[in-house]
């Protein structure tokens, strides 16, 4: 047998499996919805290409040779594998299998992101999710370089390559040590923060809400006195608990339940922290489309159940309007 000349196709295997299982050319032809003469011709060509007799034929019966029995088992396996490959390709096209790489900032990793991932997994349980804790700047760079599929970021950011969709807007809260005098207040006035020691986010973690707060402080007549900077919300809250100072944090931070820290709302027109999903505008992955669909459905449900849950507001148009970063 010259294997270099064997040019089997899947249809040849299907034809042989039908004949091998029926052991009757007429019944196999009916099963395949094929005329008997072409079927017989295809089986003969297969045997010639293989250089192996697969069937013993008489005027009354058809039987498998020893080689035919082995070939039948292998042909079934190949067809099953081909069907599996077809099915997996179809599922990948629909976003039902594959891999999804998601970046996220600390403050969404304890409630918002897990909830969205649960909603996504309920729809696409076979997609492998790879979450990465990253700063906003790191996420933007990774998205642009196609090392991430989706980013969960704090606004603002700039990138011509990326689209974004606001999924939550939440007010700023004052976090302070349990024994702090302002902890006795139900609501804290901005002017009462004059002279306080502040713990702030590092420059690469600052958001539009932080900038808005600076303007509010200026209008109130003082500048915040920053005594310590920290790279993430957990470190900030740890420093607050240690009595190093107070900090202004997104409402989501209050759900972390850090020991020794209390949260109080601020009076007046309080800036909002904005959370958004980000992805490449030219992203063609079905898994990304599936995640966006599942996230939007989850957020619509969350909004319908309780639009003020945890003191948050979702976004304009119930979070369904897509925007482009500029």
Contact 200, 226 (CB under 8 A): yes
Residue 64 in domain: yes
**Judgement on whether residues 284 and 162 belong to the same structural domain of the protein:** yes
Residues 158, 182: one domain?
A: no
* Chosen domain end from 66, 93, 120: 93
DSSP state of 251: G
Q: Determine, yes or no, domain membership for 307.
A: no
Of 47, 65, 93, the domain-final residue: 93
Q: Is 103 within 8 Å of 280 (Cβ atoms)? A: no
pTM: 0.59
CA distance 302 to 298: 6
Let me know if residue 220 belongs to a domain: yes
For the chain, what is the domain count? 3
Q: What is the CATH number of the domain that holds 209?
A: 3.40.190.290
38 and 71 inside one domain: yes
110 shares its domain with 257: no
User: Is residue 308 in a domain?
Assistant: no
Question: What average pLDDT is seen over the chain?
Answer: 81
Do 159 and 283 fall into the same domain?
yes
Whether residue 162 sits in one domain with residue 173: no
Instruction: List pLDDT tens digits, range 115-143.
Output: 999 988 888 888 889 999 988 889 999 99
Clarify whether residues 159 and 38 are in a common domain: no
- Residues 54 and 65: their CA atoms lie apart, in Å, by 5
In percent, how much of the chain has pLDDT > 90? 28
d(CA 162, CA 140): 8
Q: Quick one: pLDDT at residue 137?
A: 84
Selected residue with higher pLDDT from 58 and 174: 174
**265 shares a domain with 285:** no
Asked if residue 247 and residue 101 are part of one domain, the reply reads no
Statement to judge: residues 250 and 177 lie in one domain: yes
- Average pLDDT of span 11-15: 88
Q: Is the pLDDT of residue 174 over 50?
A: yes
Average pLDDT over residues 304-319: 35
Same domain for 175 and 249, yes or no, is yes
Q: Half-sphere exposure of 123 toward its Cβ, with a 13 Å CA cutoff?
A: 19
Residue 321 reports pLDDT greater than 60: no
In a domain, 254, yes or no: yes
Identify the pLDDT of residue 209.
65
- Domain for residue 310, yes or no? no
- For residues 246 and 312, the answer to whether their CB atoms sit within 8 Å is no
Interatomic CA distance for residues 218 and 211, integer angstroms: 11
Range of the domain at 79: 3-93
Q: Are residues 74 and 153 in the same domain?
A: no
- In this predicted structure, what is the pLDDT of residue 217? 78
312 falls within a domain: no
Query: Which CATH number belongs to the domain containing residue 138 in this structure?
Result: 3.40.190.10
In a domain, 30, yes or no: yes
Confidence label for 92 from pLDDT (cuts 50, 70 and 90): low
């Amino acid at each position: 047998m010259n294997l270099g000349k064997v040019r089997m196709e899947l249809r040849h295997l299907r034809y042989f499996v039908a004949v091998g299982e029926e052991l009757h050319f007429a019944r196999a032809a009916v099963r395949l919805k094929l005329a008997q003469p072409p079927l017989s011709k295809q089986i003969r060509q297969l045997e010639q290409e293989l250089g192996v007799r697969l069937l013993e034929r008489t005027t009354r019966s058809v039987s498998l040779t020893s080689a035919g029995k082995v070939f039948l088992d292998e042909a079934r396996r190949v067809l099953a594998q081909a069907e599996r490959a077809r099915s997996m390709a179809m599922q990948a096209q629909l976003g039902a299998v594959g891999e999804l790489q998601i970046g996220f900032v600390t403050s969404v990793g304890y409630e918002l992101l897990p909830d969205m991932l649960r909603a996504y997994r309920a729809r696409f349980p076979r997609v492998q999710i790879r979450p990465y804790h990253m700063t906003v700047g790191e996420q933007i760079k990774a998205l642009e370089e196609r090392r991430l599929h989706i980013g969960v970021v704090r606004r603002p950011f700039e990138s011509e390559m990326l689209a974004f969709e606001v999924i939550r807007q939440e007010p700023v809260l004052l976090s302070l040590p349990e024994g702090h005098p302002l902890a006795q207040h139900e609501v804290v006035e901005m002017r009462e923060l004059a002279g306080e020691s502040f713990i702030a986010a590092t420059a690469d973690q600052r958001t539009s809400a932080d900038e808005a707060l600076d303007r509010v402080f200026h209008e109130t007549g003082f500048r915040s006195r920053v005594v310590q900077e920290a790279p993430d919300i957990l470190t900030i809250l740890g420093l607050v608990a240690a009595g190093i100072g107070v900090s202004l944090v997104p409402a989501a931070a209050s759900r972390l339940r850090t020991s020794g820290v209390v949260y109080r709302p601020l009076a007046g027109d309080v800036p909002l922290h904005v959370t958004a999903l980000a992805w490449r505008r030219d992203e063609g992955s079905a898994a990304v489309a599936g995640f966006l669909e599942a996230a939007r459905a989850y957020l619509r449900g969350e909004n319908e159940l309780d639009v003020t849950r945890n003191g948050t507001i979702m976004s304009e148009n119930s979070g369904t309007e897509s925007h482009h970063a500029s």
